[in-house]
Structure 1
Amino acid sequence: MIINKIRKKIYLYIQYLLPKLLITNVCGYISKKKLSIITTYLIFLFIKIYKIDMKETKYPNIFHYKTFNKFFIRKLNMNNRPIDKNKCHVVQNTDGIINQIGIIKDNQIFQFKGCKYSLFNLIGRDKNINKIFSNGYFLNVYLAPNNYHRVHMSYDGILLKMIYIPGKLFSVNNIVSENLCNLFLLNERVVFIFKTSFGLMIKILVGAHIVGSINTSWYGSIIPPRKNKIKIWNWPYINNIYKKDFIYLKKGEEIGYFNLGSTVITLFPPKIIRFNSNLKKGSKIKVGELLAFII
C-alpha cells in the first residue's frame, strides 16, 4: 500500500516536470508522417498490444492507413453499431470507460474522494449556463488508447455555443484522474452547448498529454492553434429563428474526434433525464447504447 502511494506520487511529480506541449507536438508530428512499412508495423504492434478488434472498423485492412494518426482516428462500421432510435432515449456518444457518473451537487462535480471541481470554472465561467446546470447530472468517460476516438451526438440538437478554454496537457488516465485534483479544470478543453427538445445538453472534450488536436465535423481543427485565451463561437437566435447558418446534428451523427486519446464529459440540467441504472464507475460503454431516459 505504502509503495503504491509512493509510486503514484512519483508518477504525478513526473507529470508536472514533463515538457508536455513539446512531447505532444513531437508525437503529433510523427503520427502524421507517412513512414511506409514502419507505420504499418507500428499499427500492427498497437493492435496486438491493445487487443483492438479491427472487425468493428470501417476499414479493417491495416494497409489502408498511411499514417499512424489516420489509424488512430479510424471510423467504425456503423452497421455493426446500431444507434438506439427510441425518442425517449439519450445515447452514449463514444466508446470508453466511465470515470465518474452522478449529480452536480452545489455546483461541484465529484472527481475522487476528497476532491470536487467547479462546474462554473469547467464551462468557462458562464453564470447563466452554470445556473441552468446546477444540481444537474454529469458523466465523465475516459477514452483509453485502444478505444474508438470519435465523438457522436447523444440526441438531436442545435449547437448554440462552442468555447475553447486553454490549459495544461496532463495525462487523464486513471492514476492521474484519481489523484490530481481539478485535473479537468487544469487541462485545455472545448465546450459544446446544444439545445435539444428536452433542454440544454453540454459536451466537453478534454485535451491531454499527447492529444495533438481536437477536430469538429463542421469547423475542422479547433486545437491547434493553442492560444492562452478563451475563444467563443456563438450561433445566436431570436424567437427560435437562427440568425446564422446553424449547426444541427442528429442522434448518432459525428461531433468530432481526438488525435490521440482523452476524456469526454457530458452535462444535463436537473429533472430532465434519468441515467440508465446499469451504468456505474468502471462500466465499459459503446457509441449508440442507452445512456439515459428523458423524463
Structure 2
Amino acid sequence: MKSYLYKFFIELTNGKWSSYLIMKFAHSKASSLIISSFARVYKINVDEMEKDLTSYNNLHEFFIRKLKNGTRNSFFGQTEVISPVDAIIEDIGIITGNKTIHVKDKVYSISEMLGNKEMVDKYTGGTFIIFYLSPSHYHRIHSPVSGRVIKRWTLGGKSYPVNKWGLKFGKSPLAKNYRTITEVKTQDNQHIAIVKVGAMFINSIILSHQKEEVKKGEEMAYFSFGSTVILLFEKETFRSKDFLSTPYPVKIGEVIGDLSGKSK
C-alpha cells in the first residue's frame, strides 16, 4: 500500500496544484519522517550516500543527495563516453534525415527540442540516447565528456510525465517540457548536446556548473525529482557500447560508448 501511494503521488501525479503541494511537502520538516520508508520502498542503497539517513532535514534534501567519493567509476579513457546519470537507458537510435527521433512509437522533433533549427543540422544522422531517472535514482547529472561549454539555454514552460507511460501517451514531453540544454565541444571538435528535461510542474533543474570548461565525470546539474537526460551526438562521431536491449540500467561513470575522433 505504501509503495502504491509513493508511486501515485510522485511518479504519476502531474497536475499544477498537486505538483506544487508535493514540492511544499518535500521541503517541509515533516517530510523527514518518511525518508527512511521512502528509501526502503525504492530500494535505495544507503551505504553509498554521503550522509546518514537521519542527517537529511527533509525529503528534498534526500532527493538531491550526494554520493561518497569512490562509489562510481572515475577511471576511463580519453575518447570514452560515460553515462551522465544513474538511470535506465530507455532508447538509443539514429536521428533521422528529417531531424526527428523515434521513442516509444512516437516521433519527436529535434528542432523543437533544441529550439534552434540551424544547430540541428549538425546532429542529423547522429546518435541519440535517452536516460530516464526514477525517484529511486541519484539525481545529480555529470558530464559524459570533457570539453568546452559553448552554449547553455533554457526552453519550455510546463512539464509532463517522462516515465514510460508519459513517453508513450504524452504530448511530446521530451521536446516540449521545461528543459535546459548544454552543448559541449571536445578537444577533437566534436559537439555533444546534453538535454535535461523536467518531469513535473515543479521544473526544478539546477545548474551547478557555470565554468567554460567541463571535465568528464564532473557534476553539471541536478534534478529535484525523477526526470530525463538526452544525449545527442553528431553523425559518425559516436560508437555505442553493444547494449543487448533496452531498457538498460546504467550508473554514472559507466562507459556507454566511444568517440570516433572524427571532427567537424
TM above 0.5, yes or no, is yes
Which stretch has the larger CA shift, 149-158 or 20-29? 20-29
Is 2:129 aligned against 1:129?
no
The verdict on how the C-alpha distance between 1:279 and 1:28 changes in structure 2, with shifts beyond 3 A counting, is: farther
Please list every run of 5 or more consecutive structure 2 residues that lacks an aligned counterpart in the other structure: 1-7
| 3-state SS in 2 of match to 1:121 | helix
The verdict on how the C-alpha distance between 1:170 and 1:195 changes in structure 2, with shifts beyond 3 A counting, is: same
Alignment correspondent of 2:238: 273
Does structure 2 retain, via aligned residues, the 8 Å contact 1:27–1:212?
A: no
Query: Within 2, Cα distance between the matches of 1:271 and 1:187?
Result: 28
Q: CA deviation at 1:105?
A: 1.1
Query: Within 2, Cα distance between the matches of 1:193 and 1:281?
Result: 26
| Correspondence 1:80-99 to 2 at 5 A | 80-99=71-90
Larger Cα-atom Rg: 1
Query: Within 2, Cα distance between the matches of 1:145 and 1:19?
Result: 14
Is 2:19 aligned against 1:29?
no
Is 2:257 aligned against 1:292?
yes
Q: CA deviation at 1:156?
A: 0.7
Q: CA deviation at 1:32?
A: 1.5
Alignment correspondent of 1:57: 49
Q: Deviations over 1:152-211 (max 9, x none)?
A: 001112211111112322111111212335221231111111111231111011011264
Q: CA deviation at 1:111?
A: 1.3
Alignment correspondent of 1:250: 215
Query: Within 1, Cα distance between the matches of 2:168 and 2:46?
Result: 31
Q: Deviations over 1:125-153 (max 9, x none)?
A: x1331111111110001001100100000
The verdict on how the C-alpha distance between 1:271 and 1:91 changes in structure 2, with shifts beyond 3 A counting, is: same
Alignment correspondent of 1:111: 103
Q: Deviations over 1:45-70 (max 9, x none)?
A: 101111111112111x1111011111
Aligned length: 248
Tell me the TM-score normalised to structure 1 length.
0.79
Query: Within 2, Cα distance between the matches of 1:19 and 1:273?
Result: 35
| Correspondence 1:139-150 to 2 at 5 A | 139-150=129-140
Query: Within 2, Cα distance between the matches of 1:279 and 1:78?
Result: 30
Does structure 2 retain, via aligned residues, the 8 Å contact 1:211–1:258?
A: no
Alignment correspondent of 1:44: 36
Please list every run of 5 or more consecutive structure 1 residues that lacks an aligned counterpart in the other structure: 1-10, 220-245
Query: Within 2, Cα distance between the matches of 1:79 and 1:145?
Result: 23
Q: Deviations over 1:55-87 (max 9, x none)?
A: 12111x111101111101011123121224211
Does structure 2 retain, via aligned residues, the 8 Å contact 1:191–1:205?
A: yes
Query: Within 1, Cα distance between the matches of 2:195 and 2:126?
Result: 15
Alignment correspondent of 1:178: 168
Query: Within 2, Cα distance between the matches of 1:161 and 1:289?
Result: 25
| 3-state SS in 2 of match to 1:80 | coil
Tell me the TM-score normalised to structure 2 length.
0.88
Query: Within 2, Cα distance between the matches of 1:211 and 1:252?
Result: 27
Alignment correspondent of 1:237: none
Query: Within 1, Cα distance between the matches of 2:72 and 2:36?
Result: 24
Q: CA deviation at 1:21?
A: 2.8
The verdict on how the C-alpha distance between 1:261 and 1:19 changes in structure 2, with shifts beyond 3 A counting, is: closer
Query: Within 2, Cα distance between the matches of 1:78 and 1:200?
Result: 29
Read off the aligned partner of 2:20 and give its amino acid letter: N
Q: Deviations over 1:223-257 (max 9, x none)?
A: xxxxxxxxxxxxxxxxxxxxxxx521100000010
2:208 to 211, 217, 220: 217
